[in-house]
Structure 1
Amino acid sequence: MPSAKPGIFRTTLTRLCISHDSAEKTLAPLEDESLPDDGARWSAKPDVIESEKDLVTKVIHADDDPLLNPWTFRMWFIGTGLDIFGAIMETIYFFRPVTLDVSNIFLALLSYIFGTFLEWALPKTCFVGRWFNPHPVNMKEHAAMVVIASSGAQTALAVEVIAVQRLFYDSAPNFLVSILVVVSSQCVGYGFAGLLRRVLLYPTKMVWPSLLPMNTLLETLHRDRRETRHRLRFFLWILIAAFFWEVLPECVMPILTSVSVFCLAKQDSLIFTNIFGGFNGNEGLGVLSLGLDWQSISSKPWWTPLATLTNSLVGYIICIFLFLGVYYGNVWRAQDFPFLSQLLFSQDSTSSNYVLYNQTEILNDENVLLPSALETEGLPFFAGTYAMFLFTTNLAVTATISHLLLWNWDDLKTGYSFLSPSSVRSRDIDGEKDPHYQLMLRYPECPSWWYTCILILSVIMGLIAVYTAKSTLPWYGFFASLAVAGTFILFFGAQIVQMIGGYLHPGQPLANMHFTLFGYNSVIHGISMVQDLKFGQYAKLPPKATFCAQVVGTLVGAVVNYIMMVEITTNQRDILLSIQGTNIWSGQNIQQFNSQAIAWGALAKEMFSPGSRYGLVPIGLLLGFFPSLIFHTLHRAYPIIGFSKINTPIILAYAGILSVGISSSMISYFAIGLASQFWLRRWKPDWFVKYNYVLAAALDGGTQILVFLFTVSESPTKERDTVADPPNPFIRRIPTRLDQRHLDHDASHAVRNEQHRPLLILLSSQCVEVFQECIGQLAKSRPFDHVGVTICSIGLPPDALPHQG
């Protein structure tokens, strides 16, 4: 590191959130005892955190300095740069077997590093200093950078729609039309969300626990060092530890992603693989497998409320029994198809030969269903577990509606109060309002007409887009999708949107995808906007600054999302269309969306009508109303038993959670969540308040830094060396996860690139070779008939697995 300006590190330790020229505002020296340190702050043990207000006031400070200015050159420059970076990484992660997100913690750390560097490097005086470096990086400026970056660091459903057209229909709109589709579908949701701030943003009970690690990190970095030095030291140590730990599952010992004693004990059993396997995508349910890879676990269990965790655990257990019952009961011919898959299969499939459904044969040149061709080709099949996932999802959708109507009727009325003309300018306060929101009243709010204008402009752009993109969605279908979005933004639910679109536009899968795009994607991005507004509220960022940051971040991210998607779908086409993909690339999300578009868009009547093959799936919408009603009635009759804690939408949503991806981290997820939200929160509330969310932020930050470095450390080359199989015919070479970046999914041998490997990877490969020798010796005494089990097969190509046919 150059030492020409050693003060760069010192400025990060004594941070001022005011102008460089305000000498009278300087901090007292660290040895000054007039200001309490964080040890004094936490010396009195807090009571057990019971209410939402306890959580948001004890974990996050309810105070504000209105003099802090977020509007700087650094905010736009760093925020936009990280917006581009986040959009690139998010699109890459979307096409991985475990769909990861670019953590806002990671973006916050990068923005803090770059912001501190620019503060040190840019002049602080004269014209340059006044405009480009007016004061040290403060918390509000930092928060605005994060909002810009996070607004683009997501994969829009519109990009998914266009990817499906490229992969499965061999057609897609041009660049300008594609950008119009992406931007309009996202901004429609922003318009809706802005009008629903009363219920989704202002009340205290709208906690948004996922934001607590992020806001805690900002306070740790920017509040007085004498107050936060212990938490900052703790954060740095955990960040470093997480960074080095991730080297093990990512490179040295990828087996740590899924440790299954049962698979090791019974390596030749397909049943054991289906139940206990979970290393590869769509391999098995991962029952009792121990996942030690933090990027699969994530920080979510550290902040998910206990009630949500316990209901999720119930749903997870139900999912295991449902999936095993469907498959081994051979419901819907389940054993003629893969145990887990999101693809459509032909009726000619057998347990030893899976035949994909040829959807292009049943559609004409305009992608509309041909009844005569359907008679010849026959109806497609889902994997049995995926059909059950559709059923439980439908149950969860209507269970959510009934749950909110029964338990949150007053909130729903408040949510749609914007329809009343008298409430347009109202900004009333009552006892339910968040204490952080009350501090925000000093800043001018974004007027409702801003959001109304965004909504109107987005509708116009969207209407143009659906016609120029040849989506086959008529104008009345477009407006129907917007009506659905406006209704369900408080309820969520993608599948019901697809179902409505399927019955409104039968035989038109592209119309169904675009109906879902505007009917559901708008909901998702609307909720994302409210989350950013809540983040800004916790950070005391003025609402207009949050609004501008979101709009800029969304527009830039949309363009980058599209460009990256085109690049990936062009270069990885074959892998994205395969059943299992590799440990690095997977088309599971695209396949799932296309399968539902064909099923609901082209074949809804034939596949889901009463008495048809999957007639049970839509019946789930009717049945889903009853569980919430039953438990609400029981609560009214026996209020002291605790029926109010049973959340049927969460249980039913998790009853299909294992239908896709790598499932080996579930046990670790629930164990960490229960330890944090039950034991620490109840029995160690002082430690919980002080360190729990800092720990979550540090684990996410360290892991994402390491994963990012490994992602960019290797550059693919045209020349690839083939690694020969060892002499033992029952066992294949075990490659590391980084080797998998160059595996060809349909090759019979593993291939890898030896060029551009960092020294760390070369050294760790020797450790892997030693482990392979041990496995090879074990294989001599007991041949491995099924090498694809969790603990013994690390990323073999699909044709190495016996159950792949």
Structure 2
Amino acid sequence: MSRAKFFIIALTSSFLWYIFPGYLFQTLQSISWVCWVFPHSVTAQQIGSGLNGLGLGALTLDWSAVASFLFSPLISPFFAIANVFVGYVMIMYIVIPISYWGLNVYNAKTFPLYSLDLFTDNGQEYDITAIVNQNFELDLEQYQKQGRINLSTIFSLAYGFGFATIAATVTHVALFYGREIYDRYMASSKPKADIHTRLMKNYKDIPSWWFYILLGVTLVVSLALCIFLNNEVQMPFWGLILGSFLAFSFTLPISIITATTNQTPGLNIITEYLMGVIYPGRPIANVCFKVYGYMSMSQAIAFLSDFKLGHYMKIPPRSMFLVQFIGTMVAGTVNMSVAWWLLHSIKNICQPDKLSDSPWTCPNDHTFFDASVIWGLVSPKRIFGKEGNYPQLNWFFLVGLLGPVVVWGFHKAFPKHHWIPLINLPVLLGATANIPPAAAINYNSWILFGTIFNFFVFRYRKNWWQRYNYILSAALDAGVAFMTVLLYFSVGIEEKKIIWWGNKDHEHCDLATCPTAKGIIVDGCPVF
């Protein structure tokens, strides 16, 4: 079968199937059978819920749940999937249960096991609007009345492992790739042209001044925003310079991790932390700094990835540059316009409350907002410092910094064991970096599908894998995308719904979000 024919068949199948989890039978998005077996047990539902718990045994028949947060597992190498699996099991099924049920770390039982919300000491949702003044800065008096901010167990530990991940990235790259980076840098003036490079010489190269002009224009526009719209942006001009420097410094080490594992550790935590310490109490400034420091780096890696693909596919470099430039301008404008339209046209958008009955729960935006409150508005010193509840999480930086040293030491001591350097701590420690907003069901399904296709299919049907694997991944993504658009314009706009057991609740794990501490009162939850 030709690849084109296979792509059409797979796309059509994906398109037709998605009508079930996407509209007719939405429970297929998270089949948490443990909750069905124990409908009145809070603990069982916390363990079995794929959306709000540990997701033990939870499965999905929805491709969007598989690839939405972690991208397609079909295009990740198996050793990277194995690292994610080990890290995920270690964190989700060992560290978190011990922290929550065993040690009750940070009064964990007072709050849900997994939640994107922020809480007061008595387990109630934190009123963020009450601690923000008219200038979108922290109202210290109102903050002191409500008390310290608390996070759910999974949310708080995710930050700790995030600290370890960014530290491990620096050490891992320095130890395992430092010599290679140095040698390639020294030899860059006399490159050895491979067959791909020789073939690409047939095309005109991109003039360096194209990049310099684009960099200069964007910096000037960004500086103008910081200077002339400072009341709205809040970020001083030096924040732009510092954010750009961070993005430039971390692009190389994180690009190496991305190129070898297809997993990209994020700079979001370190940028938020740094700006929160230097310039506390200003959430908009923190968000802007995060965009210039973290998003710039991630976009640079995506830019390099596109050029790498173009290099192997023999696409003219100037055409690649222009397509990327025009695509960025169009995508940015369209995204902003659509977001503005959605915010003003859809009721209860981004409200995960079941009473709103809205599919627009916006977990990414919810997490982004929480981060602006934690790092920007309240500041790290009132969360992770002496004035907060989580100062011990800063030790994760040291764990991440020293972890790759141990792995590297074992590799040098036992060089014949070739599996030792495959232990990639930036990937292993960052296994749950996308939780939140991702949930256990996303990881369970991602690991399962990735293992099936990258290990068993590759091992026993290698020719099929080489010919159709990436085609299948693209077809599944495209089929879901097309059906999503069709469902929205056909039944979504008019809010036409099919109400039955399979659609009434996406998971049927209502008690998974309940606290288990004694005396905590939450609507819809039993009181212990």
The match for 2:49 among 240, 262, 277 is: 277
2:381 and 2:226 mapped to 1: Cα distance? 24
Q: Please tell me whether residue 395 in structure 1 is matched to residue 169 in structure 2.
A: no
The answer for the alignment partner of 1:734 in structure 2 is: 501
Q: TM-score, normalised by structure 2?
A: 0.85
Distance between the aligned counterparts of 1:510 and 1:672, measured in 2?
A: 39
Deviations 1:33-82 (A, max 9, x none): xxxxxxxxxxxxxxxxxxxxxxxxxxxxxxxxxxxxxxxxxxxxxxxxxx
* 1:138-217 equivalences in 2 (<5 Å): none
Amino-acid identity (%):
25
- Alignment-mate amino acid for residue 486 of structure 1: F
Residue number in structure 1 paired with 2:510:
788
Please report how far the alpha carbon of residue 500 of structure 1 lies from its aligned counterpart in structure 2 after TM superposition.
0.9
Distance 1:262 1:565 in 2: 37
**How far apart are 1:295 and its partner, in Å?**
1.9
Instruction: Please say if 1:484 is aligned against 2:261.
Output: no
**1:440 lines up with 2:217 in the alignment:** no
Which residue pairs with 1:513 in the alignment?
A: 287
5+ residue gaps in structure 1? 1-228, 350-354, 724-732, 741-785, 791-798
Unaligned 5+ segments in structure 2 are 255-265, 513-521
Within 2, Cα distance between the matches of 1:443 and 1:804?
A: 71
**2:385 is matched with which residue?**
609
SS of aligned partner of 2:112: coil
**Does the CA contact (< 8 Å) of 2:230 and 2:236 recur in 1?**
no
Q: Aligned pair in 2 of structure 1 residues 462, 240: CA closer, same or farther (>3 Å)?
A: same
- Tell me, in whole angstroms, the C-alpha distance in 1 between the residues paired with 2:239 and 2:456: 51
- Count of aligned residue pairs for this structure pair: 496
Aligned-partner residue type, residue 409 of structure 1 = G
2:82 pairs with 1:307: no
Q: Quick one: structure 1 residues 669 and 476, their matched pair in 2 at CA, closer, same or farther if it must change by over 3 Å?
A: closer
Instruction: State the Cα deviation string for residues 178-204 of structure 1 (Å, max 9, x = none).
Output: xxxxxxxxxxxxxxxxxxxxxxxxxxx
Counterpart contact for 1:343–1:579, Cα < 8 Å: no
For residue 801 of structure 1, report the CA deviation from its aligned partner: 5.4
SS of equivalent residue, structure 1 residue 659: coil
Pairwise CA distance, 1:441? 2.1
Question: How far, CA to CA, are the matches of 1:402 and 1:672 in structure 2?
Answer: 31
Q: How does 1:575-586 map to 2 (within 5 A)?
A: 575-578=349-352, 584-586=359-361
Query: 1:699 Cα shift?
Result: 2.5
Question: Amino acid of the residue matched to residue 514 of structure 1?
Answer: C
For residue 643 of structure 1, report the CA deviation from its aligned partner: 1.2
1:693 is aligned to 470
Deviations 1:297-348 (A, max 9, x none): 2372222101101001001111222232333233222222222222222234
Q: Cα distance 1:363–1:675, how it changes in 2: closer, same or farther (>3 A)?
A: closer
Aligned partner of 1:407 in structure 2 is: 176
The one-letter code matched in structure 2 to 1:327 is Y
Q: Specify whether residues 515 and 703 from structure 1 end up closer, same or farther in structure 2 by C-alpha distance, changes over 3 A only.
A: closer
User: Is the CA contact (8 Å cut-off) linking 2:351 and 2:360 kept in structure 1?
Assistant: no
Structure 1 residues 243 and 385, CA gap change in structure 2 (3 angstroms)? same
Q: 1:546 to 1:800 in 2, by over 3 A?
A: farther
Identify which of 448, 451, 457 aligns with 1:674: 451
The answer to which structure has the higher helix fraction is 2
Partner of 1:556: 330
SS of residue paired to 2:81: helix
Q: Distance in 2 between matches of 1:262 and 1:373?
A: 42
Q: Could you give the per-residue CA deviations for residues 456-499 of structure 1, whole angstroms, max 9, x where no partner exists? A: 11111111112315222112222111111111222342101111
* Structure 1 residues 626 and 578: alpha-carbon distance in aligned structure 2, compared to 1, 3 A threshold: same
The DSSP-based 3-state class of the residue aligned with 1:316 is helix
- C-alpha distance in 2, partners of 1:273/1:503? 38
Partner of 1:475: 237
1:528 corresponds in structure 2 to: 302
User: TM-score if structure 1 supplies the norm length?
Assistant: 0.57
User: Is the alpha carbon distance of 1:450 and 1:555 closer, same or farther for their aligned partners in structure 2, counting shifts above 3 Å?
Assistant: same
| Counterparts in 2 of 1:413 and 1:356: CA distance versus 1, 3 Å | farther
Check the 8 A contact 1:302/1:677 in 2, yes or no.
yes
The separation in 2 between residues aligned to 1:480 and 1:803, in whole angstroms, is 49
Does the 8 A contact of 2:276 with 2:380 survive in 1?
A: yes
Of structures 1 and 2, the one scoring higher in RCO (CA 8 A, sep 6+) is 2
> Which amino acid letter does the alignment assign opposite residue 287 of structure 2?
M
Conservation of the 8 A alpha-carbon contact between 1:316 and 1:657: no
- Tell me how far apart the structure 1 counterparts of residues 10 and 106 of structure 2 sit (CA, whole Å): 48
Residues in 2 aligned to 1:578 and 1:668: alpha-carbon distance in whole angstroms: 23
Aligned twin of 1:323? 96
Kindly provide the CA deviation profile for residues 487-542 of structure 1, in whole angstroms up to 9, marking residues without a partner as x.
Answer: 12223421011111111112222221111111111111111211221232233211
Aligned-pair distance for 1:571?
A: 3.8
| Pairing 1:631–2:353 present | no
- The CA deviation string for residues 650-693 of structure 1, in whole angstroms up to 9 with x for no partner, is 11111455433443243333232222222232333222222222
Distance across 1 between alignment mates of 2:142 and 2:10: 60
Contact 1:268 1:787 in 2 (8 A): no
Q: Is this contact kept in 2: 1:485–1:518, CA < 8 A?
A: yes
Equivalent residue letter for 2:382? E
TM-superposed deviation, 1:575: 4.2
* Offset from partner CA, 1:237-274 (integer Å, 9 cap, x none): 32332222223322333232223332222222211211
What residue number does 1:367 align with? 136
Please say which of residues 384-393 and 575-584 is displaced more in the overlay: 575-584
Give the RMSD, CA atoms, in angstroms.
3.0
Give the 3 Å change call, closer, same or farther, for CA 669–692 of structure 1 in structure 2. Answer: same
Please name the residue that 1:493 is paired with: 267
Task: Specify the code of the residue in structure 1 equivalent to 2:135.
Answer: E
- In structure 1, give the amino acid aligned to 2:218: S
Cα distance in 1 for residues equivalent to 2:400 and 2:327: 38
* Separation in 2, partners of 1:359, 1:800: 20
Q: CA deviation at 1:607?
A: 2.0
**What SS does structure 1 have at the residue aligned with 2:65?**
helix
Q: Distance in 2 between matches of 1:397 and 1:360?
A: 32
Go from structure 1 to structure 2 and tell me whether the alpha carbon gap of 1:565 and 1:548 turns closer, same or farther (over 3 Å shift): same
> Contact (CA 8 Å) 1:466, 1:472: kept in 2 or not?
yes
Q: Which amino acid aligns with 1:360?
A: T
Which residue of structure 2 aligns with residue 643 of structure 1?
A: 420
Letter in 2 for 1:802: C
CA distance 1:363–1:290, change in 2 (3 Å): closer
Which structure has the larger Rg over C-alpha atoms? 1
Find the aligned partners of 1:519 and 1:658 in 2 and give their Cα distance: 21
In structure 1, distance between residues paired with 2:57 and 2:467: 32
Shift of 1:395: 0.7
CA distance in 2, matches of 1:631, 1:582: 49
Query: CA–CA distance in 2 between the matches of 1:522 and 1:624?
Result: 24
1:268 counterpart SS class: coil
Distance in 2 of aligned mates of 1:511 and 1:616? 26
- Work out the CA distance in 1 between the residues paired with 2:267 and 2:197: 29
